[in-house]
Structure 1
Amino acid sequence: MKLTLGFSPCPNDTFIFDALIHHKIETEGLEFEVSYEDVETLNNKAFNGDLDITKLSYHAFAYAAKDYELLDAGSALGFGVGPLLITKDAKMAEQLQALLRDGVALPDVLAGLRVGIPGKFTTANFLLGLAFPQLQNKEELIFSDIESSLLEGRIDLGLIIHENRFTYAQKGLHKVVDLGDYWEGKTGFPIPLGGIVVKRTLDPALKLQLNRLVAESVRFAFANPKSGLAYIKEHAQEMEEEVVYKHIELYVNAYSENLGDEGRKAIQYLFDQAKELNIVPTSTEKIFLT
């Protein structure tokens, strides 16, 4: 049986799925047709119901919950893993930091700043709205283009995700805020970034099988961290091995094998907050598979 599977080319996803798609674990007769896409493309594919199994951002999941439900395995949650808001202007970074620290609304001159975001439906954009709701002049960019857009002056602020958090400083860019730290300070929960969802219309036994296989793939990766290195580097934006493994260590952890009670509570809180702020549509669908 062949199923369509979508995830990003980033090291955390290729690390998780390497054993599954390359049959390093027993896949029990399942084959996978893989699509490698940036997170916002995956979000939009989920809105269209294009894939049987897919990675998406938790923000986007709120818009796709009618068609998909969440696996316990494969998610990216954690502490200290949040998206970063950065700028080329060190003085602007200090000014925005002070406003956020003091709880002061942005003055009009700053509210119009051009912000590059990795997608409207990313969890990163949701968190940006919590920290700086006045920043509405947003331009959607491929996540890997945000640093260059800042350096070339096409945008004033950039919202970066994935391995770019390890490279921005050496390019002369400055952090305004780690939105993961901001979330953790407000909630005490790990930040839910992205999850793996399956189509509701699949056979219930198949969905449970997929959940188990993804968890087994994660366990294999933890036990054999160098096994998929060539595959991971083939798809990574940053090719240096040190950066690759920093990225994996940041985003792949115990929550990736099993959400557990704490992971589920964090995701539910994110959904509840988004609904309370009218950022996402209300839904009565059960979001967790098991």
Structure 2
Amino acid sequence: MNIAYSPCPNDTFVFHAWAHGLVPGAPKLNVTYADIDVTNGLAAEGTGLDILKISYAALPWVLDRYALLPCGGALGRGCGPLLLTKGGPLDAKSPAALSGRRVAVPSERSTAYLLFRLWAASHVPGGVGEIVVMPFNEIMPAVRDGKINAGLVIHEARFTYASYGLHMLVDLGSWWESDTGLPIPLGAIVARRDLDADAISGWIRSSLRHAWDNPQASREYVLGHAQELSPQVAKSHIDLYVNDFTMDLGDSGYAAITALLGRAAAEGLVPSVDPALLR
């Protein structure tokens, strides 16, 4: 089967066993490693990939061809994106100071972007100025070097932004959780609708159980694809993003996804989604 997921520690941890033939009965995987903004595009283009890791924000554009799987993704609490600044006029931590400013985001079809737009709609008078899309690994250096006024960051950046001399203006995950009481939907696993979703979900869960039962088995694979991260940062990344929701979304997981996409559709950020297509 052809699969695409990111080289981030949470994805390589989850899929290590399956990718290495350690899941009994599972077909061989042909893996494409790509940033989630790339996989979002691959899913939207209908390139023939069987399984992909995409952002929940990209779901409305692909649900006609891909089904959301109830496992394998990234959804949780205390793991949301951060909005960072260098300091100066924005160091007062006043959201109003973002009015008319340049803000870098990793994708316009990402949960991080949706959370930022939903938050900004009620906290930034007049709205922000220019939105600049750039690879997430380039955002912190761009903020540090003054090329942009603020940056929206994800993944391991929450563990490393202080080393760039940056400041957190808002934790958008904390805002979402306090506003809704729901966890944060980040990355989804989708599979072609003509495939056996139950079987694929079973193989993913078996791969995850193997990773949890044998935490050292995936270490070389994880670190080999996260070469800029220290082992401790990679472990922190896994501990944060791989959790009970990775094994099963459950009612609160689906409620969070429905709430995010419903709010985003009301703001005109994504097409409306029939909740029945999410299960």
Range of TM-score over shorter length:
over 0.9
Q: Tell me, yes or no, if structure 1 residue 162 matches structure 2 residue 136.
A: no
Q: Tell me, yes or no, if structure 1 residue 118 matches structure 2 residue 111.
A: no
Matched-pair contact (CA < 8 Å) for 1:127–1:183: yes
Matched-pair contact (CA < 8 Å) for 1:118–1:160: yes
Alpha-carbon deviation of 1:284? 3.6
CA distance in 1 between counterparts of 2:15 and 2:205 reads 10
Q: What SS does structure 2 have at the residue aligned with 1:196?
A: strand
Matched-pair contact (CA < 8 Å) for 1:16–1:217: yes
Q: Specify which of 1, 25, 45 is matched with residue 42 of structure 2.
A: 45
CA distance in 2 between counterparts of 1:255 and 1:95 reads 32
Matched-pair contact (CA < 8 Å) for 2:262–2:273: no
Q: Specify which of 177, 181, 192 is matched with residue 199 of structure 1.
A: 192
Q: Specify which of 215, 218, 227 is matched with residue 228 of structure 1.
A: 218
Closer, same or farther: CA 250–29 of 1 in aligned 2, 3 Å:
closer
Q: What SS does structure 2 have at the residue aligned with 1:65?
A: coil
Deviations 1:102-148 (A, max 9, x none): xxxx36xx422111110110100000001113124111111111111
Q: Name the counterpart of 1:103.
A: none
CA distance in 2 between counterparts of 1:277 and 1:156 reads 24
Structure 2 length-normalised TM = 0.93
Closer, same or farther: CA 52–13 of 1 in aligned 2, 3 Å:
same
Q: Name the counterpart of 1:209.
A: 199
Q: Tell me, yes or no, if structure 1 residue 65 matches structure 2 residue 63.
A: yes
Q: What SS does structure 2 have at the residue aligned with 1:30?
A: coil
Structure 2 residue runs without a partner (length 5+): 122-126
Q: Name the counterpart of 2:261.
A: 271
Q: Specify which of 23, 31, 34 is matched with residue 31 of structure 2.
A: 34
Structure 1 length-normalised TM = 0.90
CA distance in 1 between counterparts of 2:113 and 2:238 reads 22
Closer, same or farther: CA 59–175 of 1 in aligned 2, 3 Å:
same
Alpha-carbon deviation of 1:219? 1.2
CA distance in 2 between counterparts of 1:174 and 1:285 reads 38
Q: Tell me, yes or no, if structure 1 residue 183 matches structure 2 residue 183.
A: no
CA distance in 1 between counterparts of 2:273 and 2:186 reads 20
Deviations 1:160-188 (A, max 9, x none): 10111111112211000110001001000
Closer, same or farther: CA 181–285 of 1 in aligned 2, 3 Å:
closer
Q: Name the counterpart of 1:102.
A: none
Q: Name the counterpart of 1:17.
A: 15
Matched-pair contact (CA < 8 Å) for 1:144–1:237: no
Given residue 7 of structure 1, which amino acid in structure 2 is its aligned partner? Y
Structure 1 residue runs without a partner (length 5+): 100-105
Q: What SS does structure 1 have at the residue aligned with 2:156?
A: helix
Matched-pair contact (CA < 8 Å) for 2:262–2:272: no
CA distance in 1 between counterparts of 2:251 and 2:238 reads 23
- The 5-angstrom pairing of residues 134-149 of structure 1 reads 134-149=127-142
CA distance in 1 between counterparts of 2:26 and 2:82 reads 41
CA distance in 2 between counterparts of 1:76 and 1:90 reads 34
CA distance in 2 between counterparts of 1:287 and 1:224 reads 35
Matched-pair contact (CA < 8 Å) for 2:58–2:109: yes
Q: Name the counterpart of 1:132.
A: 120
Alpha-carbon deviation of 1:279? 1.5
Alpha-carbon deviation of 1:287? 2.9
Q: How many percent identity over aligned positions?
A: 40
Q: Name the counterpart of 1:8.
A: 6
CA distance in 2 between counterparts of 1:200 and 1:264 reads 19
CA distance in 2 between counterparts of 1:172 and 1:209 reads 47
CA distance in 1 between counterparts of 2:35 and 2:128 reads 23
CA distance in 2 between counterparts of 1:122 and 1:237 reads 24
